[in-house]
Amino acid sequence: MDFAFIIPFLVVVTGNSFYHFLSKSISQYLNPFLGLTVTYGFAFLLSIGLFLFTRTDNFSIEISKLNWVNFAMGAAVLAIESGWIILYRSGCDISKGSLFANICISTVLFLLGFFFFHESITIKKFIGLAVCLIGVYLMSAT
């Protein structure tokens, strides 16, 4: 496995693990959107700091590289984060909720990868997806 893959993968796994643990731990009495505003404000400050530390071009050149996808991602992130908070507040188990959602997300991305990015669908990938879906069925039956 390539080192350039391992570090970002570990960041994703670690970040997601903390994210779900913290989402489940947010006060149930706090309005989720106020909480997200504080979360985004802190993320904004961290992002600006990391941008200033890692940038290679000047600010105006970097700004010119933005497009509609950056704004759409903001809406997607809001949907993801508010959805998780509300799901966990409804009593969903952290162990089942994230597993079910991530397998469903993987199924959707499997199809999006094929149709929009021309990724190959192999027998191994299809069997792996089927095993995951069987796992969702088995876990939901208990």
CA 47 to chain centre: 17
Instruction: Clarify whether residues 142 and 103 are in a common domain.
Output: yes
- Runs of H (alpha helix) within the chain: 3-25, 32-54, 59-64, 68-89, 94-117, 123-140
Structural domain count, the chain: 2
Q: What interhelical angle do 68-89 and 94-117 show, nearest 10?
A: 150
Structural domain of residue 7, as residue ranges? 1-92
pTM flag (> 0.75): yes
Same domain, 34 and 56: yes
41 and 16 in a common domain: yes
Closest C-alpha to 95, from 142, 39, 31: 142
Matching residue, tokens 């071009």: 57
Q: Would you call 26 helix, strand, or coil by DSSP?
A: coil
pLDDT in tens, 78-91: 999 999 999 999 99
Low-confidence ranges of the chain (pLDDT < 50): none
Q: Are residues 63 and 108 in the same domain?
A: no
Determine the pLDDT at residue 5.
86
What is the pLDDT, as a whole number, of residue 16? Answer: 93
At residue 142, the pLDDT reads: 64
| 72 and 32 housed in the same domain | yes
**Angle formed at CA 128 by CA 123 and CA 134, multiple of 5 degrees:** 125
